Amino acid sequence: MTGANVEVDEVYWNPMVPELSVTDLARSLAFYRGVLGFSIRYRRDDPPFAYLEQQQVQLMLEQVHPEAWQVGELEAPFGRGINLQMELTDIQPLLDRLQRAGITLFRQPTEAWYPVGDMLAGQREFLLQDPDGYLLRFVQYLGERPAD
């Protein structure tokens, strides 16, 4: 939880960007762009790939292909054992878009306070799954307060 609600210029690159293997890039792009509000920074057709961003959140999508870096059989839902936390300045507009699109949430919005040293760091958060089953956790930083 960074709380880094900083304006980002066009050349900002995160030092760590997850790349998700997807079964159908067009379907995933319809979800990530049309529903979640990401934009495409750049895209390739061979193999099908897109680099996405929204505020400071960046991720890559690559359609599964024979030369892909797969270490084992992919079975739905993808990404078991991981959730990808993505911090936005305000999650309510995204929640509104998801409701209009009829998307079912994996976990409803809640306020959570996590211990960080002698403080508690707060965030409003909810979880949903993408078309391949990856678990996405969107958060809005609420600040810190002393631990009781």
What residue segments make up the domains of the chain, in order of their start? 19-67+76-146
- Say whether the peptide bond before residue 47 is cis (omega within 30 degrees of 0): yes
Write down the pLDDT at residue 148.
78
Q: Give percent of the chain with pLDDT exceeding 90.
A: 80
Tokens 């040293």 found at = 117
Contact 82, 88 (CB under 8 A): no
What global pTM score does this model have? 0.86
Q: What class, spelled out in words, does domain 19-67+76-146 have in CATH? A: alpha beta
Q: Locate 68 and state its tokens.
A: 């892909």
State the number of CA atoms in the 13 A half-sphere of 10 facing the CB.
Answer: 3
Tens of pLDDT, residues 73-83: 888 999 999 99
Give the Å distances, CA to CA, from 106 to 51, 83, 128, 137, 141.
25, 11, 5, 9, 20
Binning pLDDT at 50, 70 and 90, where does residue 110 land?
very high
Average of per-residue pLDDT across 14-38: 96
Coil, strand, or helix at residue 128?
Answer: strand
